[in-house]
Amino acid sequence: MRLPKSAHARDVAMSSGQRMLRWASGIMLVLGAGHLSLLALLTWENVSGWVDRGLWAAVPLLDGDAVQTVASLQNKVTFWAGPGSFSVPLILLGCLTWHLAGRGVPVPAGIGWALAAWCALGGVLLVPSPYVAGVVAGGLVILAARPGQTFGAMAATADSRRSMPKE
């Protein structure tokens, strides 16, 4: 059975909910990847030192009674500002959101509220920072999760059911 032309066109075109989720995921990906890239450029000596010492020695869990040196503290700060920071989970969340938007699956509004609250708090604590962009991404996820939003294939399927002749 062929879909009615209007439903088929809507299925092919990206819905507003999908567009909002794609923008939100793009913002998350840029924030996460930008944070890791900037850190790698600014602290390349510490990052390259992890390869020399072995990745397991990047941030030793047990220092024992060792005296904290400036170099060891800088090494820990580099780890917690890089791979141990928000950037890796933000990249993963951005990839998941992109994937779900492509499949026409809405992301729950709770994810958007959590992202917006987390980024708002980070933006207040660390001014100036690009955390504001994370609040925008969270807001887009919240808007895309509204009950009135349509998502590609789901909207087309619902429309085709309504236009099918009754038996």
Instruction: Read off the pLDDT of residues 42-89 as tens digits, 9 standing for 90 and up.
Output: 988 888 887 787 767 667 666 666 777 887 788 888 888 888 889 999
What separation in angstroms does the CA of 82 have from each of 30, 33, 104, 121?
Answer: 15, 10, 32, 19
Residue 159 has pLDDT above 50, yes or no: no
Contact by Cβ (8 Å): 139, 112 = yes
Can you tell me the mean pLDDT for 27-37?
95
Instruction: Read off the pLDDT of residues 84-138 as tens digits, 9 standing for 90 and up.
Output: 889 999 999 999 999 999 999 999 999 999 999 999 999 999 888 889 999 999 9
Establish whether the linkage from the previous residue to 128 is cis, with ω within 30° of 0: yes
Virtual CA dihedral for 26, 28, 32, 33, nearest 10 degrees? 0
CA-based angle 1:144:5, to the nearest 5?
25
